[in-house]
Amino acid sequence: MRTLTTLACLFLFCVAAIAQSDRGTITGTVGDPAGAVVSGAKVEARNTDTGSLYNAVTTDTGNYTLSQLPAGNYELSVTVPGFKRFVRQNITVQVAGTLRVDAGLEVGAATESVTVVEAATLLKTESGELSHNMTTDRVDNLPVINLGYGSGVGNVRNPLQAINLIPGSAFANDNTLRVNGLPANTQSIRIEGQDATNGQHREFNQVNQASLDAIQEVTVQVSNYAAEFGQAGGGYFNYTMKSGTNQFHGSAYDYYVNEFLNAGKPFTDAGVTNSAKAGQHQRDAQRRHNYGFSFGGPVTLGKLYNGHDRTFFFFNFEQFRESQTITSGLTTVPTQAYRQGDFSSALIGPLTIAGQPAIDSLGRPQFQNQIFDPTTTRTAPDGSSVRDPFPNNMIPIDRMDPVARKIQSFIPLALNSQLVNNYPVPAYQNYRHTTIPSLKLDHNISSTMKLAWYYSENRSYTPNADGLPQPITAATPNDSTTRTTRLNYDQSITPTMLLHLGAGLMYLNQSQLSAPIDQSTLGWGSNFSASQLFPQIVFGGDNARGGFTYTTSVFAPYEYFKDIKTTSNASLTWVRGNHTIKFGGEGLFEGFPTHTYSRAHGVFTLSANQTANTWQDGKGTNASTGFAYASFFLGLNGALNDGGQAVMRLGNHAFAGYIQDTWKVTRRFTLDFGLRYDYVTLLREEYGRMSSVGYSTPNPVAGNRPGMVIYEATCHCTFNHNYPWALGPRLGIAYQITPKTVLRMGAGLAYGTAPNQANLGRSSNDFLTLSAPGFGEAPSLFRDGNPLGPGNRFGNPVLVWPDFTPRYPIEVAPGVRPPSSPFISIDRNSGRPPRIFQWSIGVQRELSQNLVVEAAYVGNRGVWWTAPVLSLEQYNSIDQNTLMKNWGLDITNPVDRNLLLTRIDSPAVIARFPWLANPNNVYPGFPKTQPLNQALRPIPQFLGAPGFLGPPLGTTWYDSLQTKVTKRLSRGLTVDSAFTWQKELNLGVGADTSYLTPAPNLINDVYNRQINKQISGFSHPFVFVTSFRYTTPRLAADTGVRKALSWATRDWNIAGVLRYQSGEVLRIPASNNQLLAQLARGPSNNPAIWGGGTTYWNRVPGQPLFLFDPNCHCFDPTQQVVLNKNAWVDAPAGTFSSSAPYYSNYRWQRQPGESLSLGRTFGLSKENRVKLDIRAEFFNVFNRLFLSSPSGVGQTTQPAGPNPAAPVVKSGGVLSSGFGVVNTFNITLPGQIPGNGSQPRTGQIVARFSF
């Protein structure tokens, strides 16, 4: 009832709202035999599937326009007294497409007719828009939907995979969807004309997708679209859903995946688990079924009601089921020696600084993974802090933290003597069930009024099993349900005026909770508020020497996380003379109710620092002392997050209005122009309980120094200003130079949406971070549990939510408040939507009736993209010029440079800055163990502050040549080919958010913004894709033998999708010179820099970048390093690198996508109205060996990684880490498969029955 009430209210609101139509248009001119225009002619379009009629009359200029036509097949007729009736058949209307059909009348009686049956031309003569249309039938008949990709649990068929067929576009998975060089996942997805984009995180498209077989077609509008369309960045995906017709029709299908169709995984040996298969590659058992059925037609109730030509239905059901038995999972657990405190085998070799041995202040050489006793911390004679190592790298067992011992008891024992990959995960089951039913009803109220209703559900569940036992497992079941409904009304008020109204609702509900456990059984001092959940423990450090390289639990569990989106639109189309004028608007209201336990179960981050020699801080060693598992052994946390359970609601809304005119200047020249206005608001919490940083607000906890966590509920302020000037003019031109040649061009300003919340809603419960008081120190011990929990031994007030009391920074010991990072900083300009100036100019040429070629220059410039990595305010860091001016420190001076990372209680620091002899002069509670650069930050009580929602400082540049060849079905063959030559640059932005996205934008010197302009991490300059399908013909046969031969050879289908492109760009190695750490911009203490935190190494002229050509297939990646470390030299100390983060000639292996299918159609009735299609599809059909990017480079969410100074390490005789090492097995996560970066050939069987 609530849903119906909402829809009713929205329908009333539609009159003042926006329209983004999923309909098409037929337009043209009616002329007499002398060529004169004919006014007042009656024009009628009849949908040949449903019998629905659409009427118009020609204006005084002889023009007519039939708009808001549902996509489908039509017959057009023109009737004028004194002339024969003109009939044009085989007209196909596409989503958002405009088709020109001119009518040349002949003198005669109206009872006579002239019928044209040839298909309409492929030329686009009526618009300068750049768009691409794909029908579901085309996608169904090509090997483009791959269910067998990847080693983890799969998912239902994804219609977005089909965009790899169009120029300028790329889709790798849900988090990598790009169109025309614009940031990934900035698309807008529309179903039945209204927004259906996932508002929780735009990377998660499959959570709320429609069933592929419920989709009739999609038009992807990529540039120069009309003012009617907007609030999109990289692509406007306009889906229309299938409707019933006058004939009953339907289908049943199954996509079946079985490992017998797959090739084995490279670099694996099935003999590890089955000696009979020694020498063979492993192939996990894989059972995937994606099946369903559809049925549609007229609504008939016997003699009670006959819905032919009036009422229609279409029902679709799709389900994906997989039950996967995983037998080759491999992970790393602590060895028996590590469990007893013996870390002698973790030692690797001596550390170096700029190629020279690293010797500490006491003259001792330093070794990678050497364990130091934190109880021996003291000041050396030279003023530096030092520690003593544990003898033989062994910690006495009686030093083990009791809670760490309890947690360690949950970890399985190693099953071999190796340090890594020593635990073959026992065979386990994982599965996913996804179900998507849908129903569409269409009703013709009268010849002028039509109503359509659509409803679908998307239900998905997976336990996310990983094979590890409770409670140490990170297996967190994910349960989601999305309901989408649409109601559309169309009325022809007059033959030249059409009204459209629409309303919709999308309701998404997800939950993600791990198995319950009583935290008190861990034996610590105080539980966290979500005491029924196991804490998350993140192990960092040198994974190549083992330990426990796994993250337990999940950082943000939630009871529910909802996306409730109500949409509405309205438009009015008026045809007058040579003009087709349209104006309308749209409204969108979106809310995110959430019950979250984010960090409320405790999140512990372990690092090597707590057992490292404190002397190494800031020295720029090629690796590190200390060991993360040793820190865990002693119960020393590197950082701790604690949050309160919260029930909250974020939300935002958007409005738009537009007016546009399609002016038929002449029969050959069409001019489109329009203006659109968008207004979007930034996310806010309904009661102002979401925090931000008040950079100028006095902080009573920090002696009233500026910089405090604030709330809209109490600050009597708003965090941001919404942008009121988003005006977007559009212009398009189509000029038919000759009957077979069209010049098409256009330009316009378009605006995107408000910043992606990127799951902010489930993490905005104002959690607190307890940071280390200084390098190597621990803010808390495992045995303490929650230092902010009930009955904690520190006397700290209990953390509750909401709590508006100033608490940042948190006191971790009496009188000690180490700097920490507020969770979020909302920039005051974050409400400004991104603006894209887009243009194209191209020529389209018809070579034959069924063959068209086109070429276009396509470009765009985008500004105001969300770019946290460019926010100076959120970095809260030091500029080298200000450092000299205000503090007299020269970053190029080694003495000054080293001083920045020296503790403030050092005599050397106090000699230069006597006021720091009392740390409280910085702010009350500032730890004396903090380095000097922290004391000199603009806001010393803070580190960095993540800018989820801004600021809008990102910029993109895109230029391309896009060509396309389209061969329509004839002689059994269809072909579509596209070639793109493109240049993609960006500054500060690679995706719609900087969080948890591939190919992050890398930042060198944020204070010198323009030097950070760079090649996109997604860059592929050359891309060629072709798709084809050929059906063998029926042979002429007049004898029994020939008939048998004809039957044996006819109706075979051969199809393929071939994609060839430049290799992945590799990132330049990260510098060891510690410059950004010295300037307080390092990633270890600045969460604003998810894509930065280091400068780079410099290129050495004359040195080759590779030791082997990545494409030569001439090296053994298990034994040979690929990258040339001598091609790089580290940036000198105190200077920024002169390198860019990416170079166009520094690319990894080309990895073509080659898919082929072979099958046959069996006709089960005359004219194949009932038929059965069976085919086998293969992806990477030639089983090419695709290698993962070498370690330390490639697309990653973190800036750190091996660099040329890091030692190359082997494990089990196979290269496992180091600069230029190709990862041939995964040593991080259980349940993942060796060779995970190498996707071998996969196959699937497809069967489809249709009638």
pLDDT of 1199: 44
Is residue 1232 predicted with pLDDT exceeding 80?
Answer: no
Mean pLDDT, the chain, integer: 88
Give the other-Cβ count within 10 Å of 532's Cβ. Answer: 17
The more confident residue out of 375 and 1196 is: 375
Spatial separation of the C-alpha atoms in residues 1186 and 480, rounded to whole Å: 34
Q: What is the pLDDT of residues 644-667, one digit of tens each?
A: 889 999 999 999 999 999 999 998
Which residues on neighbouring strands pair with residue 857, listed in sequence order? 841, 961
Kindly state the average pLDDT of the residues 1143-1150: 93
pLDDT of 1197: 40
Spatial separation of the C-alpha atoms in residues 468 and 474, rounded to whole Å: 8
Q: What is the pLDDT of residues 327-337, one digit of tens each?
A: 767 888 999 99
> Where is 191: in which H helix or E strand?
strand 188-191
pLDDT of 1229: 35
pLDDT of 1196: 37
Residues spanned by the domain of 98: 12-125
pLDDT of 266: 84
Is residue 775 predicted with pLDDT exceeding 50?
Answer: yes
Is residue 1142 predicted with pLDDT exceeding 60?
Answer: yes
Quote helix, strand, coil % in the chain, to nearest 5.
Answer: 15, 40, 45
The domain that holds 16 is classified in CATH as 2.60.40.10
pLDDT of 608: 92
In 3D, which of 585, 734, 675, 671 has the Cα closest to residue 130?
Answer: 734
Domain-located, residue 52: yes
Kindly state the average pLDDT of the residues 1180-1202: 66
Domain-located, residue 178: no
pLDDT of 292: 97
Sheet with strand 53-57: strands edge to edge: 53-57, 42-47, 72-79, 85-93, 113-116
Range name among 59-68, 92-101, 258-267, 1185-1194 with the lowest pLDDT average? 1185-1194
Q: Work out the pLDDT band at 313, boundaries 50, 70, 90.
A: very high
Domain-located, residue 181: no
The more confident residue out of 1230 and 1013 is: 1013
Phi, psi of 164 (to 5 degrees): -65, -10
In 3D, which of 1191, 1000, 1005 has the Cα closest to residue 1090?
Answer: 1000
Spatial separation of the C-alpha atoms in residues 941 and 807, rounded to whole Å: 11
Spatial separation of the C-alpha atoms in residues 358 and 1218, rounded to whole Å: 19
Is residue 189 predicted with pLDDT exceeding 80?
Answer: yes
Whether 434 and 460 have beta carbons less than 8 Å apart is answered as: yes
In 3D, which of 1238, 1144, 1155, 961 has the Cα closest to residue 164?
Answer: 1155
Domain-located, residue 55: yes
CA 693 vs. chain centroid, Å, equals 27
Kindly state the average pLDDT of the residues 600-609: 91
Q: Two tokens at 684?
A: 């806010």
Reported in sequence order, the residue ranges of 919-1051 that DSSP labels E, i.e. its strands, are: 952-970, 973-987, 1014-1015, 1022-1031
Domain-located, residue 113: yes
> Where is 498: in which H helix or E strand?
strand 497-512
Q: What is the pLDDT of residues 710-720, one digit of tens each?
A: 999 999 899 99
DSSP, residue by residue, 212-274: GGGEEEEEEEEES--TT--S-SS-EEEEEE----SS-EEEEEEEEEEGGGSPPBTT--GGGT-
Instruction: Please give the C-alpha separations between residue 68 and each of 53, 484, 582, 1139, 1201, in angstroms, as whole numbers.
Output: 12, 22, 11, 53, 54
Domain-located, residue 27: yes
In 3D, which of 1245, 1251, 1036, 1243 has the Cα closest to residue 1162?
Answer: 1251
DSSP, residue by residue, 224-241: S--TT--S-SS-EEEEEE
Q: Work out the pLDDT band at 1202, boundaries 50, 70, 90.
A: low
Kindly state the average pLDDT of the residues 83-92: 90
Spatial separation of the C-alpha atoms in residues 961 and 181, rounded to whole Å: 12
Domain-located, residue 492: no
pLDDT of 7: 41
Give the other-Cβ count within 10 Å of 349's Cβ. Answer: 12
Range name among 33-47, 535-549, 1225-1239 with the lowest pLDDT average? 1225-1239
Range name among 1-10, 233-242, 1095-1104 with the lowest pLDDT average? 1-10
Is residue 1032 predicted with pLDDT exceeding 90?
Answer: yes
pLDDT of 275: 67
Whether 592 and 32 have beta carbons less than 8 Å apart is answered as: no
Is residue 1085 predicted with pLDDT exceeding 60?
Answer: no
One-letter identity of residue 480: S
pLDDT of 1193: 47
Q: What is the pLDDT of residues 251-303, one digit of tens each?
A: 999 999 998 899 888 887 766 666 667 777 878 778 899 999 999 999 999 88
Q: What is the pLDDT of residues 107-149, one digit of tens each?
A: 887 677 778 777 788 889 888 999 999 999 999 999 999 887 6
Kindly state the average pLDDT of the residues 800-812: 86
Whether 642 and 528 have beta carbons less than 8 Å apart is answered as: yes
Q: What is the pLDDT of residues 370-383, one digit of tens each?
A: 999 999 999 888 88
Furthest C-alpha separation in the chain: 113
Residues ≥6 apart with Cβ < 8 Å to 315: 294, 295, 296, 437, 438, 439
Instruction: Please give the C-alpha separations between residue 1154 and each of 1026, 1027, 1238, 1242, in angstroms, as whole numbers.
Output: 10, 10, 15, 11
Spatial separation of the C-alpha atoms in residues 493 and 552, rounded to whole Å: 62
Length of the chain: 1251
SS3 929: coil
Query: Cα angle at 673 between 670 and 675, to 5 degrees?
Result: 165
The more confident residue out of 6 and 712 is: 712
Q: Two tokens at 451?
A: 């109503």
Is residue 17 predicted with pLDDT exceeding 90?
Answer: no
Q: What is the pLDDT of residues 953-1000, one digit of tens each?
A: 999 999 999 999 999 988 899 999 999 999 999 999 988 887 767 777
In 3D, which of 219, 155, 153, 273 has the Cα closest to residue 20?
Answer: 219
Whether 208 and 1020 have beta carbons less than 8 Å apart is answered as: no
Spatial separation of the C-alpha atoms in residues 206 and 173, rounded to whole Å: 10
Domain-located, residue 707: no
pLDDT of 584: 96
* Residue 6 DSSP code: H
Q: Work out the pLDDT band at 635, boundaries 50, 70, 90.
A: very high
Q: Work out the pLDDT band at 8, boundaries 50, 70, 90.
A: very low
pLDDT of 6: 43
Q: How many CA atoms lie within 13 A of 60 on its CB side?
A: 2
According to the per-residue pLDDT averaged within each range, which of 432-446, 522-536, 1233-1247 is highest? 432-446
Q: How many domains does the chain have?
A: 1
Kindly state the average pLDDT of the residues 839-848: 96
Q: Work out the pLDDT band at 631, boundaries 50, 70, 90.
A: very high
Q: Given the structure tokens 């009601």, which residue do they identify?
A: 305
Q: Work out the pLDDT band at 2, boundaries 50, 70, 90.
A: very low
Whether 1160 and 1049 have beta carbons less than 8 Å apart is answered as: no
Is residue 1038 predicted with pLDDT exceeding 50?
Answer: yes
Instruction: Please give the C-alpha separations between residue 439 and each of 210, 320, 404, 407, 1192, in angstroms, as whole numbers.
Output: 11, 18, 54, 50, 49
Is residue 151 predicted with pLDDT exceeding 60?
Answer: no
Is residue 362 predicted with pLDDT exceeding 80?
Answer: yes
